Structure 1
Amino acid sequence: MTRQKPALTHIASFKGEPCSSAHLLAMRRVSYSFRYVQEVLYLKNSIPVCSSLEKESHIPAFPPPMKITRDGYRAWFTAQNDLGIKRYMAALGSDSYIVMIDPASFIDVIPFGAWPIDVAIIGRERNTVVASSGNLDPAILPLIHHETPLRLENRGIQYAIHPFPEMGITIVSWAPTAPLERSWYRQAFIWLPAGIVTGLLAAAFILRILRRLQSPRHRLQDAIDNREINVHYQPIVSLSSGKIVGAEALARWQQADGTFLSPEIFIALAEQTGLTEPLTRLIIETVFEDMGVG
């Protein structure tokens, strides 16, 4: 209703003679300029005198309003119009004017792809369908008086019921579950095999990496790169003098469990895998560092 109230305010600013040519033109301009407004009526003592459609209105007096808004506007859901067409319209009025609004304009449904969604506006007082984009199951009408939002499924259709007690209406939206289920099955048919293949490829790739990391060659390569090969020194004693005349550098590779792998094993592995040169360089660099030569 926020767009209809400015229409009433605008036409109320007219200062000329009621139902004159200028007045009729002003009402027609409001009907043309304000979206959703189908007709503008001028009233005197709740009796329509003229409208944007007719110079002399023959509509009977409006009954007491079905609802009065907080800011004083009166509201009806009525089939009264100057064209004699039996079609219910929403009417919003001030003291001297009423604007007629097509209730279907309150509904703007955007379908979710191929999933049809319908919406209906229900008057809470009389269970009146004010506007609807589809045929609402009458069995749902007794549920519109819930004070809190409600979701339910009935006969393969999902319903969402949102009450607005302050406005005297309830909005119901519904959609069949079958298209969504078909979409789920279709998506599962497409993506489940793709996911399985992707998972198998990823598992094979990770397994290959793990095997590579656990291979003796790559373990030795990592130990050299991380300088995990330690050097221990064994003194060389002269048999004739009993004095220490030198030291022998012995390479040791400590394992994760704290044990040391025999040099005969990893040196032979280095020779077989082409890692003799980097292993020798590491041992020489470590000896020089221990001697303070850099």
Structure 2
Amino acid sequence: MNTQMLMLTRKSLLHHSIVVLVVLGIIAVATIPVGLMTYVAEKRAQVREYEALSLYARRGLTRIEMVYNNARDALGQMQQLTAEPCSDEYMADMRRVSLMHRYVQDVVTLRDRDYLMCGAMLGRFAHQNRLGKPSWEGPHYRVWLHAYDIEDTGKPMLMIADDTHAVLLDPESLVDVVVEDPTLSLSVVGTGTNEIVASWHNARPDFILKGYKESGKRQADGVYYITVKSAQLPIAVVAGEPSINLLRHWYAALQIWLPVGVVLGLAIAAGLLMYIRSRSSLVGQLRYAIRRRQLQVHYQPIVDLATRRCIGAEALVRWPQARDVMVRPDVFVPLAEDNQLIQPLTDLVLDLVCKDMATLLQLRSDLYVSINLAAIDLSTDRFCAVLKRTLAACSIEPQRIAIEATERGFMHAQTAVGIIQQLRQMGHRVLIDDFGTGYSGLSYLQTFQVDVLKIDKSFIDTVGTEAATASVAPHIVEIGHSLHLKMIAEGVESEAQAAWLVAHGVQSGQGWLFGKPMPAQAFLDYLNNERQRTRHV
């Protein structure tokens, strides 16, 4: 009696421990969105400040390039003067050029490219001093970030020169930018010399140079620095903002995103509870459905893009529930993979395809149906034997059944190579499904010697757009052409996408533009209607 009571007590404790662990796990998962939204609020504030500070820096850079272009225009007008250099008439023309250009402090004429002869405001130099080494020298202009004080003003000037003339600029004009926030700072740094050319009064030189070298980081002075480099001059603009501004914006963003995190956490907790309750039974339901052959196969047409004629279909498994509700494949297929049900599922799909399409594939030698294999199906020759036996039983030629394998199926590369070679020797075409979304590349294609590439829908969606992945589809098409492989574009939903694919030499397409996945009888009706349309043309 005592022993039984002890066992019951232990079972009760174990049960309660599991319940406690589950509850703690749900609470932990529910708090993740709160932390995530806090992180999102911080990142949003950082992005906002980064964009605002970058815009501010670009305004400073625009100002610099405007001053630079003003100086270049002055040098260009100096080239057009015809009077004798440093004559009275020439000096008058120099002053006119200097006064006509807002940011030019003085114009100087050079002899032998490096010697000062005369200035518009300073007149003729008694001693024609030689210029020092420039901070930067390009094909047409030379730049001195700290020219020695020709005008004896007590501060160095910025000098830009060609072979015969030079203009002097006040460095402060480079940072003469109006902003609404007085806590911001703006500085100009020479990229070749790592020295400060000009800066606002509130900028700290040591931290400016650190901020220039480590753009996008907060320095020890509590200021967040952004660097934008000029494409024309050897200088960069360094804009700074105190971190307290970022903290203020983070608090504002947190008031929006934190409630979202709380609501999301509660929703996830509720969903997780429902999932835990249904997960244990869902595997059993799937096992029962496979054993009782309660799954269905729908067929999505594959068409020749040039003629719009259907040349085949992809077999897609569906799990119907009561009241015409379907369990999504992205739910039950991973469940089958995790619970040793994927091979029975693949066998069932093959049986259903033969049942649905045997007569069609016997009569129509121009059609085929493709079947998806899982990674485990490519790890042994088990499915090859099943495929051969099943097709022989229903009198379907191997050419009428194509095999689709995702890139995940190549994880066991050495075994997969042999299985793919065996399938092709049996007469089946092998297609790589969702190409570009996994780990394979050119070397994989050369190794496996497949027949067709299927370009994933995510890349077709970006065709003709400015998305970051818009260049992937053309690259995949180039790979296909270089290896002389046929290509099928998945997820084609618009005529514009179809036209792009035809223009780039993609032979076949699959997507809602041509037809959604449909039951067997609907697919047969689809083919019949297509044949009738063809006869009337």
Structure with the larger helix share: 2
1:167 Cα deviation from its structure 2 partner: 3.2
Q: Is the contact between residue 79 and residue 87 of structure 1 (CA under 8 Å) also seen in structure 2?
A: no
1:161 maps to what in 2? 227
Aligned residues: 186
| Structure 2 residue runs without a partner (length 5+) | 1-67, 257-537
Q: Is the contact between residue 162 and residue 170 of structure 1 (CA under 8 Å) also seen in structure 2?
A: yes
1:131 maps to what in 2? 198
Deviations 1:12-49 (A, max 9, x none): 11111221221111111111111210000011122111
User: Which of 210, 216, 230 is equivalent to 1:151?
Assistant: 216
Distance change >3 Å, CA 140–CA 132, structure 1 → 2 = closer
User: Which of 55, 65, 74 is equivalent to 2:134?
Assistant: 65
1:123 Cα deviation from its structure 2 partner: 1.0
Distance change >3 Å, CA 5–CA 140, structure 1 → 2 = closer
Distance (whole Å) between structure 2 residues aligned to residue 129 and residue 23 of structure 1: 35
Distance (whole Å) between structure 1 residues aligned to residue 241 and residue 216 of structure 2: 12
Q: Is the contact between residue 119 and residue 172 of structure 1 (CA under 8 Å) also seen in structure 2?
A: yes
Secondary structure at the aligned position of 2:69 is classed as: coil
1:173 maps to what in 2? 239
Structure with the larger strand share: 1
CA RMSD across the alignment: 2.9
Secondary structure at the aligned position of 2:74 is classed as: helix
What is the letter of the counterpart of residue 103 of structure 1?
Answer: P
1:49 maps to what in 2? 117
Distance change >3 Å, CA 41–CA 124, structure 1 → 2 = same
What is the letter of the counterpart of residue 217 of structure 2?
Answer: L
1:109 Cα deviation from its structure 2 partner: 2.7
1:195 maps to what in 2? none
Deviations 1:192-214 (A, max 9, x none): 9xxxxxxxxxxxxxxxxxxxxxx
Q: Is the contact between residue 124 and residue 145 of structure 1 (CA under 8 Å) also seen in structure 2?
A: no
Distance (whole Å) between structure 2 residues aligned to residue 110 and residue 13 of structure 1: 35
Distance (whole Å) between structure 2 residues aligned to residue 103 and residue 170 of structure 1: 13
Distance (whole Å) between structure 1 residues aligned to residue 117 and residue 222 of structure 2: 51
Matches within 5 A, 1:92-111: 92-111=160-179
Q: Is the contact between residue 225 and residue 239 of structure 2 (CA under 8 Å) also seen in structure 1?
A: yes
1:183 Cα deviation from its structure 2 partner: 7.2
Does the alignment pair 1:12 with 2:79?
A: yes
User: Which of 91, 98, 101 is equivalent to 1:24?
Assistant: 91
1:6 Cα deviation from its structure 2 partner: 1.2
Distance change >3 Å, CA 175–CA 143, structure 1 → 2 = closer
Distance (whole Å) between structure 2 residues aligned to residue 80 and residue 114 of structure 1: 34
Matches within 5 A, 1:203-214: none
2:382 maps to what in 1? none
Distance (whole Å) between structure 2 residues aligned to residue 131 and residue 59 of structure 1: 28
Q: Is the contact between residue 159 and residue 166 of structure 2 (CA under 8 Å) also seen in structure 1?
A: yes
TM normalised by structure 1 equals 0.55
User: Which of 142, 166, 171 is equivalent to 1:74?
Assistant: 142
Distance (whole Å) between structure 1 residues aligned to residue 230 and residue 163 of structure 2: 26
What is the letter of the counterpart of residue 157 of structure 1?
Answer: V
Distance change >3 Å, CA 124–CA 114, structure 1 → 2 = closer
Distance change >3 Å, CA 63–CA 40, structure 1 → 2 = same
1:164 Cα deviation from its structure 2 partner: 4.4
Deviations 1:129-156 (A, max 9, x none): 111123234044245346xxx2111232
User: Which of 103, 106, 110 is equivalent to 1:39?
Assistant: 106
What is the letter of the counterpart of residue 51 of structure 1?
Answer: G
Distance change >3 Å, CA 167–CA 83, structure 1 → 2 = closer
Distance change >3 Å, CA 52–CA 81, structure 1 → 2 = farther
What is the letter of the counterpart of residue 119 of structure 1?
Answer: L
Secondary structure at the aligned position of 1:141 is classed as: helix
Q: Is the contact between residue 42 and residue 97 of structure 1 (CA under 8 Å) also seen in structure 2?
A: yes
What is the letter of the counterpart of residue 75 of structure 2?
Answer: L
For the pair shown, the structure with the greater C-alpha radius of gyration is 1
Distance (whole Å) between structure 2 residues aligned to residue 165 and residue 12 of structure 1: 25
1:114 Cα deviation from its structure 2 partner: 3.9
2:265 maps to what in 1? none
Distance change >3 Å, CA 93–CA 176, structure 1 → 2 = same
What is the letter of the counterpart of residue 48 of structure 1?
Answer: L
Distance (whole Å) between structure 1 residues aligned to residue 96 and residue 149 of structure 2: 18
Distance (whole Å) between structure 2 residues aligned to residue 94 and residue 79 of structure 1: 15
Q: Is the contact between residue 115 and residue 180 of structure 1 (CA under 8 Å) also seen in structure 2?
A: no
Q: Could you say which structure has the greater relative contact order, defined with CA pairs below 8 angstroms and 6 or more residues apart?
A: 2
1:180 Cα deviation from its structure 2 partner: 5.8
1:122 maps to what in 2? 189
Q: Is the contact between residue 40 and residue 100 of structure 1 (CA under 8 Å) also seen in structure 2?
A: yes
Deviations 1:45-82 (A, max 9, x none): 22111101122224621023222224x11111234344
Distance (whole Å) between structure 2 residues aligned to residue 130 and residue 119 of structure 1: 11
Distance change >3 Å, CA 140–CA 103, structure 1 → 2 = closer
Distance change >3 Å, CA 165–CA 115, structure 1 → 2 = same
Secondary structure at the aligned position of 1:152 is classed as: coil
What is the letter of the counterpart of residue 153 of structure 1?
Answer: R
Secondary structure at the aligned position of 1:98 is classed as: strand
Identity across matched positions, percent: 27
